[in-house]
Amino acid sequence: MLTRFFLMGLDRKAGLVLTVLALLAVLVPVMTLVVPEGSPWHLSIFSVSLLGKYLCFALLALALDLVWGYVGILSLGHAAFFALGGYAMGMYLMRQIGPRGVYGNPILPDFMVFLNWKELPWYWLGFDHFAFAALMVLVVPGALAFAFGWFAFRSRVTGVYLSIITQALTFALLLAFFRNDMGFGGNNGLTDFKEILGYDIQAPGTRVGLFLATVAALALSYMIASGIIASKLGKVLVAIRDTESRVRFLGYDTESYKLFAWTLSACMAGVAGALYVPQVGIINPSEFAPASSIEAVIWVAVGGRGTLAGAILGAVLVNFGKSYFTGALPELWLFALGGLFVLVTLFLPKGLLGLWAQLTARLPSGKGKRVPNGKTADQKGM
């Protein structure tokens, strides 16, 4: 049953996306750990973490595309779910520091010690167990999304009203997490992690492991998402996107469909956040900033809304551009990024993927069969 579900989404497109991910999963560890340093084929740990970060963003974009591209819910607050997942993981990592903090307190994280907290607040209990924290990564964003969606969809809040209240949600969380009284480290957030599951978090092996976990999570989420889209459920979701009232009149309980997709998407975003935190080494309330959510929307739009592969492509491309330009053109990169968004909306309404589709549609079909190449590591720059 489950196999059938996954296989259903496994058309050729999905196959190729998964192949690329599998290739990454094989090549990256080999190039990092096996290929000796100094070889042009060697990939530094820095690059692995960077790629891992892009793939976390890709997972967030995928989650967002599931609700925006296929159900028509434009969330301007998806980074909230991402950050909540991140905080759940961050709390686990904080507890793993144990007595190695600067004050050497075995229970309390450093920020609680210097704010004179005497004991661990109740909501921090249990986070010293990985399994509990991993569960919370799914449950906290999922529960918030469920509660929020349950009210919002039942009240038939739609369109831009829904978008703005998702923004209000993430903004309220931003302010709440900024408060030091909340017990989440305030503006400094959670940082200075030491180990995860007993492995040194900065060791190359752990970093590669985290990267592989990210690839796996992305692949799994992709399979789930494409499985859903290919199923009857997916057809209903797309119908809701196109004309919700008509679907409702046909007897479908549209609220439940939306709620399902919305909650699932929030859980995916939570997982993305949880994988992001150990790789970048910090989680701070600025992840809740409305601008982060808007950026995620932009990745999806740049790649191509309504195509899962497009969401991944957009997230990786825009973030790679950001990494590159903030180093290469520190004073001008905002022009480049801003200009890119304007140009994409004006000339590529269906995103980059739409452009490729348009271009290749005009070419003789034989050309489309070219095997993807370009995985050589000696290409420098863009």
In the list 189, 234, 273, 278, the residue contacting another protein (rule: CB under 8 A) is: 189
- Residues numbered 203-242 forming contacts with another protein, rule: CB under 8 A: none
Write out the two tokens for 358. 């348009």
Nearer to another protein, 132 or 355 (CB): 355
Annotate 3-41 with b (16+ C-beta within 10 A) or e (fewer): eeeeebbeeeebeebbebbeebbeebbebbeeeeeeeee
CB of 1 to another protein, least distance (A): 25
In whole angstroms, give the CA distance from residue 309 to residue 69. Answer: 12
Residue whose entry in the numeric block shows the structure tokens 């595309």: 65
259 binds another protein (CB under 8 A): no
| Interatomic CA distance for residues 327 and 95, integer angstroms | 34
Backbone φ and ψ for 191, nearest 5 degrees, come out as -155, -175
CA gap 183, 140 in Å, rounded: 16
Cα separation of the two ends of the chain: 45
CB of 251 to another protein, least distance (A): 20
CB closer to another protein, 55 vs 136: 55
> Is 296 within 8 Å of 60 (Cβ atoms)?
yes
360 near another protein, rule: CB under 8 A: yes
CB of 195 to another protein, least distance (A): 12
Q: Give least dist CB 17 to another protein, A.
A: 6
Min CB(135)–another protein separation in Å: 25
By CB under 8 A, is residue 376 in contact with another protein?
Answer: yes
Q: Which residue type does 29 have?
A: P
Of 159 and 250, the one with the shorter C-beta distance to another protein is: 159
13 binds another protein (CB under 8 A): yes
85, 133 contact by CB (below 8 A): no
- Restricting to residues 73-132, name those near another protein by CB under 8 A: 74, 98-106, 110-111, 113-116
Taking CB under 8 A as the criterion, the residue among 26, 30, 168, 197 binding another protein is 168
Total residues belonging to the chain: 382
Residue 2 or residue 181: which is nearer to another protein going by CB?
Answer: 181
Q: Out of 52, 54, 67, 140, which residue is the one contacting another protein (CB under 8 A)?
A: 54
Binding segment toward another protein, per CB under 8 A, in 169-177, 214-222, 257-265, 266-274: 169-177
Question: Among residue numbers 304 through 343, which ones bind another protein (CB under 8 A)?
Answer: 304, 307, 309-310, 312-313, 316-317, 320, 322-324, 326-327, 330-335, 337-342
Strands 282-283, 190-191: pairing kind? antiparallel
The whole-angstrom separation of Cα 89 and Cα 276 is 9
Binding another protein by CB under 8 A: which of 9, 29, 43, 133?
43
DSSP H/E element including 190:
strand 190-191
Measured from the CB atom, is 3 or 379 closer to another protein? Answer: 379
Structure tokens at 323: 């990494």
Minimum CB separation of residue 149 from another protein in Å reads 11
How many residues of this chain interact with another protein, rule: CB under 8 A? Answer: 131
Q: How far apart are CA 345 and CA 339, in angstroms?
A: 10
Does position 344 interact with another protein (CB under 8 A)? The reply is yes
- What is residue 199's three-state secondary structure? strand
294 near another protein, judged by CB under 8 A: yes
Q: Is 368 in the site for another protein (CB under 8 A)?
A: yes
Q: Which of these, 303, 333, 327, lies nearest to 315 by C-alpha position?
A: 303
State which of residues 138, 188, 195, 220 lies at the interface with another protein (CB under 8 A): 188
Closer CB to another protein, 135 or 345, in the complex = 345
Nearer to another protein, 263 or 292 (CB): 292
Among 165, 212, 233, 238, binds another protein (CB under 8 A): 165
The closest alpha carbon to 311, from 39, 59, 109, belongs to 59
SS3 213: helix
Nearest to another protein of 98, 132 (CB atom): 98
**Which of 284, 288, 293, 296 is the binder for another protein (CB under 8 A)?**
284
Contact 133, 89 (CB under 8 A): yes
